[in-house]
Amino acid sequence: MRTKKRNRRAELSAFGGVLLALFLAPSAWAVDCNSFKVWSFNIRFDNGSVFCASDCDNDWYKGELTSGRRNVAKAYLQGYDPDIFGLQEIKNSGPVPGFVVSQLQDVAGWFPGHNYYAQDRGDGEHCAIFYRSNRFDRLGAGTFWLSCTPDVQSKHPLETNNFRITSWVLLRDTYTTDEFFVFNNHWPLNSTARDYAAALIRERVHQMAGGFPAILLGDFNCDELSSPFNILIGTNAYPGSAECTNPQPVSQQDLSLVNSYREAVPVWDGEERTYHDFSGNTFGKRIDHVLNTRDDFAAFTAAVRRDTYAGGCTNAGCYPSDHYAVEVQFHVLLQNVQVDLQQLDALCELGTEALPFNTIAEAVNVVKSNGTITLRNTSGNAAVTINPIRGPVTITSIGGPSIVGK
């Protein structure tokens, strides 16, 4: 259990060699070291056979390896290439002679630059978490069940047809040295079990993360105005139920979660449906979500990805799943940010003393509430205060020639 937030300011001497390697690596060009892309995607389970049994147009395989939803999903995922992505319902079925019938192994093969963690929930399905291996190191991982006995493979008594789980990883960002948790969830269909799941997850995130940054994602089977969603973010109290021992309540002061998509897209435009049942419908609300701990990350873009592709389906366009993926791009927020207006554009800017930003706008995007932005190579030593979206920020200047712009 982690009980307090660590000081995550970069120890530059400790990872300077890593950053030097980043500069010299051919793949480092155009890397944004202070942001990353996250996806939540219910990939829809595969029936475990290459031979069509039902719902043939939407099978992972459709009679052979060269057609079906499999190749459509490959184009979809590889086309956007998220840094971190959580997949729900992804199966790792047993092999059929002559074939490897495994969605999990397929996706792992498509992303050789990612590592992953996945735990079978009890019926072949997983909540897998993939993460870019040249940026993130995994420090820990695990799974708990959304049941009355979370640490034992089990079902909630009111959710008798399906196991439901939360899988998690603890990652270290080798660019920024930050450590943070990612929780990937697939919630129950039963409303009482879903309220319980929300309260249990809130309790577990607080117990495990203990003030560390965290990102939550998954198929919640409910929208952002629902009771369980608001139990998760702490705006509604869990009413309790007779089926399970009630989780301990966690105050918003102890765990403040932000609806990441809504932070980047403040107003619902009516076209946010994520579960479409292979229909292509777009009107409605998301049941697939991304959240983050407040003042640790800032969501600066968000989208529901609705691409279709030519594939093995009978129609000209084929959907990768019966869900659309939700995408959020995050900045890592910093308490103290350095800006050098004379600095030329670099391969990598972290806002640190060794790798400062070269515009105030970049610094404002990543500074924490009540954080400090220090301007280097400017005239005078006066301090000024500005008010970006996250609250007042102090800007101090360190003497030098006055430079306006780059």
Domains of the chain: which residue ranges? 31-332, 335-397
Higher pLDDT: 378 or 321? It is 321
Higher pLDDT: 294 or 278? It is 294
At 237, list the tokens.
């109290």
Contact 151, 187 (CB under 8 A): no
At 180, list the tokens.
């943070």
Mean pLDDT of 126-137: 98
Q: Count CB-CB contacts under 10 A for residue 357.
A: 24
- Inform me whether the pLDDT recorded for 98 exceeds 70: no
CATH of domain 335-397: 3.30.1910
Mean pLDDT of 386-394: 66
* Contacts with 347 (C-beta within 8 Å, 6 or more apart), sequence order: 22, 23, 28, 29, 30, 31
What is the rounded radius of gyration, in angstroms, for the C-alpha atoms of the chain? Answer: 23
Contact 168, 141 (CB under 8 A): yes
- Inform me whether the pLDDT recorded for 141 exceeds 80: yes
- Inform me whether the pLDDT recorded for 324 exceeds 70: yes
Q: Tokens 């102890």 label which residue?
A: 254
Alpha helices in 123-215 (DSSP H): 191-209
Dihedral sign for Cα atoms in the order 71, 77, 78, 80: positive
CA distances from 103 to 3, 57, 126, 128, 348 (A): 37, 17, 10, 11, 35
Dihedral sign for Cα atoms in the order 342, 345, 346, 352: positive
CATH class of the 31-332 domain in this structure? alpha beta
* Apex 124 CA angle, 123 and 125, nearest 5: 95
Write out pLDDT tens, residues 12-46: 334 444 444 444 444 444 467 889 999 999 999 88
Contact 291, 257 (CB under 8 A): yes
Which range is most confident: 11-20, 22-31, 211-220, 373-382?
211-220
At 75, list the tokens.
């184009």
- Tell which residue, 103, 38, 78, 40, has the closest CA to residue 275: 40
Query: Rounded to two decimals, what is the model's pTM?
Result: 0.88
Query: What pLDDT does 51 receive?
Result: 59
At 250, list the tokens.
């966690």
Query: What pLDDT does 396 receive?
Result: 72
Higher pLDDT: 300 or 26? It is 300
Mean pLDDT of 90-115: 81
Query: What pLDDT does 8 receive?
Result: 39
| Helix (H) or strand (E) segment spanning residue 87 | strand 84-91
